[in-house]
Structure 1
Amino acid sequence: MFSQFKNIDTAFKHIRLFSFLLIVACFGISCFAIYQYYRFYTIKDQRIYILYNGKLLTALATDRKSNLPVELRDHIRTFHQYFFSLVPDDKAIKASLTKALYLADESAKKQYDNFQESGYYNNLIAANISQELSVDSIQLDVDQFPYLFRCFATQKLVRSTSTVYRKLVSQGVVDDLKNQTDNNPHGFLIRRFEILENRDEQVKTAQP
């Protein structure tokens, strides 16, 4: 009789252990299923469908942080090209600089005013000089906000008699406006803009 009770007690313990393991397994499967569902739901939300030339294309959306350095460099590059790539035409110069000043604060406006007062733009027009800028590299620190940058570029000044190459180095910080517009598609603003270096490196005389 005692042996029978002992067997019943042992069987009960086995059933209790089995039930506990079954509950744990069910809980684990439920958690895994919920995780997979939300993972699938997130991936589905990141998928964008684009209709292009009558064809349905699929694109994958990413958060802005993962693309931040690319956007910052493009904003800095665009500003410098608008600010320094100029043709000897007063209306074209003003149009280009107006676009540049949408991308920066009063520190860029101050630099523009200095150039204006020194007669820099009038000299470009009078001497029929075309000025092109090519950005060589941009050093960027995205670990601190606002984002510190230093831009290294080459200016090409084309005259009828010669071509002058200048080294340009500038720096500043980029602030995030959290607002994108047609004139500022990235929603950034360059602050504390200053030119550290702007000197002639090479002069090529035009062949007669």
Structure 2
Amino acid sequence: MFSHLKNIDTAFKHIRQFSLFLIIGNVLTMCFCIYKTSQAVNNAQNKVHILYNGKLLDAVASDRKTNLPVELRDHIRTFHQYFFNLSPDDKAIQANVSRSLYLADESAKRQYDNLREAGYFNNLISANISQELQVDSTTLSGDQWPYRFTLYGTEKLVRSSGTVYRKLVTQGEVRDLGERSDNNPHGFLIQHWEILANRDTTLSH
């Protein structure tokens, strides 16, 4: 009889151990499933599907700090191209400069006023000159806002008598506005902007 009770007790212990292992296994499996599900949801939230030419493409979102230098350079390049890509038409000049002024503070407006008072834009219109800026390089310095920059570019001025090339060098700072808009998609603002050099280099026919 005692042997029978001992066998029952041993069997009960085995069942209890098996049940405990089963519960622990289920808990671990559930935790793993929750982790993988959460990971899959996060990955899905960071992906954007784009339909391009009838093909579905994946675009992966990333932290802004990762692409900050790229965004800064693009903002600086866009501002300068709006400001310096000019055609011999007063309305077109006004439209381009107006777009550029959304991306910078009053220092850009002062530079525009100085060029206008010097007759720069009138000369483009009267001589039927179109101007296009090619950004050669943009250097960034500093590791916190506002980031300082220096831009090196080449201006191409096309007129009936030939093509003039000018070297352009500007500098300024960029600060974060904290919000984006249609007129300022990066949400940055150029400040303390000045033109260091804007001089002719070569003439081609």
| TM norm. shorter chain > 0.5 | yes
Matched, 1:137 2:141: no
Distance 1:30 1:140, change over 3 A: farther
1:58-117 deviations in Å (ceiling 9; x for gaps) = 332112111111111111111111101101111110011001111110000000000111
Assess, with a 3 A threshold, how the Cα gap between structure 1 residues 53 and 162 changes in structure 2: closer, same or farther. closer
Q: Give the superposition deviation at 1:33.
A: 7.2
Q: Paired residue for 1:68?
A: 68
Q: TM-score, normalised by structure 2?
A: 0.78
Instruction: Indicate the residue corresponding to 2:10 in structure 1.
Output: none
Q: Secondary structure at the match of 1:145?
A: coil
Structure 1 position 32, deviation (Å): 7.3
The 2-side partners of 1:37 and 1:147 are apart by 40
* Maintained 8 Å contact 1:156/1:165: yes
Partner of 2:86: 86
Quick one: distance in 2 between partners of 1:58 and 1:93?
A: 38
The offset of 1:182, in angstroms, is: 1.1
Q: Distance in 2 between matches of 1:176 and 1:142?
A: 14
Mark the runs of 5 or more structure 2 residues left unpaired by the alignment.
1-20, 22-26
Give the counterpart letter for 1:58 in structure 2: D
C-alpha displacement of 1:186? 1.0
Superposed CA deviations along residues 11-47 of structure 1, whole A, max 9, x for unmatched, are xxxxxxxxxxx9xxxx999987776565444323212
Q: How does 1:6-85 map to 2 (within 5 A)?
A: 38-51=38-51, 56-85=56-85
Corresponding residue number in structure 1 for 2:189: 189
- Indicate if the aligned counterparts of 1:69 and 1:142 stay in contact, CA closer than 8 A: no
Q: Give the match's secondary structure for 1:133.
A: strand
Partners of 1:39 and 1:203 lie apart in 2 by 60
Mapped partners of 2:142, 2:128: distance in 1: 40
The residue type equivalent to 1:133 in the other structure is L
Provide the residue aligned with 2:174 in structure 1. Answer: 174
What amino acid is aligned across from residue 104 of structure 1 in structure 2?
Answer: A
Output the amino acid matched with 1:49. H
Partner of 1:154: 154
Structure 1 position 164 matched with structure 2 position 164: yes
Alpha carbons of 1:55 and 1:153: their partners in 2 closer, same or farther (altered >3 Å)? closer
Distance 1:52 1:132, change over 3 A: closer
Displacement after TM superposition at 1:199 (Å): 1.2
The one-letter code of the counterpart of 1:156 is: K
Count of residue pairs the alignment pairs up: 185
1:48, distance to aligned residue in structure 2 (A) = 2.7
Letter in 1 for 2:196: L
Cα gap change, 1:54 to 1:198, in 2 (>3 Å): closer
Q: For 1:201, what is the secondary structure of its paired residue?
A: strand
Identity of aligned residues (%): 62
Distance of 1:30 and 1:99 partners within structure 2 = 55
CA distance in 2, matches of 1:101, 1:43: 38
CA RMSD after TM alignment: 2.6
AA aligned to 2:137 is S
